[in-house]
Amino acid sequence: MRIYNFEEEAESVNVDEIYMKEAFKLAQKAYEEDEVPIGAVIVSQGKIIGKGYNLTERLNDVTAHAEMQAFTAAANFLGGKYLKDCTLYVTVEPCVMCAGASYWTQISRIVYGAKDEKRGYASVNPKIMHPKTLITSGIMEAECSELMKRFFKSKR
């Protein structure tokens, strides 16, 4: 008989928040460096194996999104290009480029904070995501979206 375990459920939500907080710290770092404030971490077996934040200004490279940095770092850590059994935590919904890159990594799960109605993959082309990649959204949504709003407001 399977007993529904509420405690376990609560715990799994907590774990997502713990790692999203780490991604959020990186987003704040990006903000301080005058980059679009998005941060990402990749977790494997309870350990952060890759981190990144948006570096498009510093590197003068439109592809230098937080997720791309994190994918490269995680692949270097693992010594292989596939990120099976890994979870990406990113403060904002991935764009189609990053969703496309995540497809190639075959990552198991993606957890994101704020939705991006304009540039997010889901409103552009949800099919770009690997069918086996599980998606969770809305973790620390308010904080993640507030940081983005604050950034773009300061740019006006």
Least CB distance to Zn ion at residue 145 (A): 16
Among 42, 95, 144, 147, binds Zn ion (CB under 5 A): 95
Among 65, 110, 121, 147, binds Zn ion (CB under 5 A): 65
Q: What is the DSSP letter of 127?
A: G
Q: How far apart are CA 55 and CA 126, in angstroms?
A: 25
Tokens read off for 21: 């907080």
Question: For residue 31, how far is the Cα from the chain centroid?
Answer: 16
Residue 23 near Zn ion by CB under 5 A: no
Residue 40 near Zn ion by CB under 5 A: no
Least CB distance to Zn ion at residue 138 (A): 19
Which of the residues 67, 93, 143, 146 is marked catalytic? 67
Site for Zn ion in 97-116 (CB under 5 A): 97-98
Answer for the pair 90, 30: CB distance below 8 angstroms, yes or no: no
Q: Which residue is nearest to Zn ion (CB)?
A: 98
CB neighbours of residue 48 within 10 Å? 17
Closer CB to Zn ion, 14 or 102, in the complex? 102
Would residue 7 show up in a list of annotated catalytic residues for this protein? Answer: no
Where does this chain touch Zn ion (CB under 5 A) — which range of 8-16, 59-67, 78-86, 139-147?
59-67
3-state SS class at 41: strand
Closer CB to Zn ion, 51 or 65, in the complex? 65
Least CB distance to Zn ion at residue 95 (A): 4
Q: What are 86's strand-pairing partners?
A: 44
Torsion angle, alpha carbons of 71, 59, 99, 83, to 10: -10
Taking Cα atoms as reference points, which of 31, 38, 114, 103 lies closest to residue 71?
103
**Residues interacting with Zn ion, by CB under 5 A?**
65, 95, 97-98
What residues are labeled active site?
67
